A and B are shown apart, each in its own frame.
Chain A
Amino acid sequence: MRKSNKWVHILLGIASFVSVFPILWLLLTSFKPVSEIYSDTFRILPKAFTIENYVDVFTRSGGVFWTWFLNSVIISILTTVIGLILSTTAAYAISRFRFRGRKGITMSFLLTQMFPGILLIVPLYIMIDQLGLLNTYVGVVFAYLAITVPFCVMVLKNFFDAIPIEIEEAARMDGCSQLGIFWRMVLPLSLPGLAITAFYSFLTTWNEFIIAVTFLKSHDMYTLPVGLHHFVNQFSTQYHLMAAAAMIITVPTLLLFFFAQRLVSNRYFYKKG
């Protein structure tokens, strides 16, 4: 090994440390007893390792954390499934058919995928309020579709573009209907694309913060990120609970990410929600 590689390793070591440390510190905090967390003595490792923060998170207020967990799961799955139905059909249409307005529609998906949630949150809030859907699954899922569908359409269109049209023509010769072609040929052939968009939709929704904080008002409707916010905000500073809850939310995200990254090529994987 060349001598200069020593410096490469030192620099990469420092960078790795910086990138891991804040989360590592949160992890350590989550295993410290309350008396150690809120103490003026500085310790790095917990003196008395404990899981009491996790137990507290899961059992407080009659186990409401499980309700938050369930809400997160329901909302994420609903958004993923509805979003996939909407975006596969749309992507297929703009990938395969030539019709008036195709360019305009493609462009509008391309443009809207850049919109931040904040741009739409004010009018959406008023609209969903008028429909009486604030603090419901439907209201939040609506808002999430605005974020996920345009991106999924653009990714899926790329996948559909790569499927040779001759396959479809052959199927048509054999008497397959348009819907049959879509369902039996195009979708199975673009499974990696479907996997990517499903992972993306699920993770984006699972990790969405501000729409959930704004739209979900009652304690029993919170998703996990709102629950976390509820532990540490201007009225409450329960960092020990926040640390434990943060770890519970993050672990599935990490697992899903590194697992999915192995499954499919990673170029589509880096959109930050």
Chain B
Amino acid sequence: MKLKGSAWIAWIFLLPSLLTIGLVIFYPLAKEIRYSFTDQGQISFQHYIELFGSFFSSNSVFRDVMFQTVAWTVINLFLQFTIGLVLALLLHRIRKGRTIYQTLLMIPWVVPSFVGAYAWLWLVHDRFGFMNQALHKVRLPIFHWLDDGTITMLLVIMVNVWIGVPFMMITFLSGLRSIPTSLYEAARIEGASSWQQLTHITLPLLRPVAATATALGMIWTFNMFNVIYIVSSGGPANSTETLITYTYQEAFQNGNIGVASTYGVVILSFLIAFTLYYQRVLKANQNEGMYY
């Protein structure tokens, strides 16, 4: 199938992009790995020892950040998946008004994520934000949304769920559309209830789509920076920092290039491990859209 014996032409076609990618991705990446093994100009494992050695001590920022990253990713993914699936099933049931609902529901995804984050920041403004003014109006005590670690975490998760649900929904919807209606007709003739149709036809056939959506949703959630940086800046007291946001803080606010690079290497290891796993998922669902 492929053209053979013209490898040198292939390299000419590849050269410009390989040079660029080498310069803007692989060279910096190599530098980053080197910084992580450098302490005061000397090769050392100091940063790794500090990170992992103190993992079980009571004041390990690294452990907190790891824990928060896991919580952030898992809770986000669970909510996005569930809400997205329910909305897709609802949308699939109706014909009248579907386009309008779908357009409105896509808005959080289409709007730039930093604009969405600023919109939420303005909603929860202590004095002039919608939330507190509405609470005040109905004579409830106002609430400091960004003062408590747990509540702030829930808030930033909510903002990210708001952003991420449309993608899940649209992916599930395209999955639902590809299920042949004849299956449901057959099931109805056999006397299957709608609940049985859901659990025996719809959900099993959505599995490949769900796997892809979960993998992508997970990467994007793990990689998400804007929402946390804008809404909570990782605070209060680092309680909403994830690996991604904390790397930035170490580098550009605390000026610890070595520590930030070490966090970078941890992130890189996660992503590589995940890609290897993701490859297997993709192989299992060959013709699902992989490059969204």
Contact residues of A with B, CB < 8 Å? Answer: 1, 5, 8-9, 11-13, 15-16, 18-20, 22-23, 25-26, 29, 37-40, 42, 85-87, 89-90, 92-94, 96-100, 102, 105, 108-127, 142-143, 145-146, 149-151, 153-155, 158, 165, 168, 178, 182, 206-207, 209-210, 214, 225, 228-229, 232, 234, 239, 242-243, 246, 249-250, 253-254, 257-258, 266-273
Contacts and interface: CB of A to CB of B under 8 A. Distances in A.
B127 A40 contact: yes
5 nearest CB pairs, A to B: A97-B10, A116-B223, A90-B17, A123-B28, A207-B112
B180 interface: no
Interface string B214-225: 000001101101
Contacts of A266: 170
B219 A267 contact: no
A120 B27 CA distance: 10
A127 B31 contact: yes
A19 B105 contact: yes
Interface stretch (B64-72, B184-192, B195-203, B245-253): B245-253
Given A97-B3, A155-B291, A210-B226, A145 B24 contact: yes
What DSSP secondary structure best describes chain A's contact surface? Answer: helix
A270 B102 CA distance: 14
Nearest to A209: B114
Contacts of B136: 40, 42
Nearest to B120: A22
A116 B35 contact: no
Interface stretch (B45-53, B85-93, B146-154): B85-93
Most chain B beta carbons < 10 A, residue from A25, A123, A268:
A123
A94 B14 contact: yes
B260 interface: yes
B63 interface: no
Most chain A beta carbons < 10 A, residue from B25, B107, B219, B268:
B25
Interface of B: 1-4, 6-7, 9-11, 13-14, 16-18, 20-21, 23-25, 27-29, 31-32, 35, 83, 86-87, 90-91, 93-94, 96-97, 101, 103-105, 107-116, 118-123, 125, 127-128, 130, 133-134, 136-137, 162-167, 170-171, 174, 219-220, 222-223, 225-226, 229, 233, 244-245, 247-248, 251-252, 257, 260-261, 264, 267-268, 271-272, 274-275, 289, 291-292
Contacts of B123: 22, 25
A9 B97 contact: yes
Most chain A beta carbons < 10 A, residue from B14, B93, B116:
B14
A197 to B, nearest CB: 11
B69 to A, nearest CB: 12
What DSSP secondary structure best describes chain B's contact surface? Answer: helix
A168 B1 CA distance: 12
Given A121-B248, A210-B248, A246 B115 contact: yes
Contact of B128 (A39, A118, A146): A39
Contacts of B9: 97, 178
A120 B28 contact: yes
A97 B6 contact: yes
Given A119-B268, A123-B32, A153-B17, A239 B229 contact: no
Contacts of A142: 23-24
Contacts of B11: 93, 99
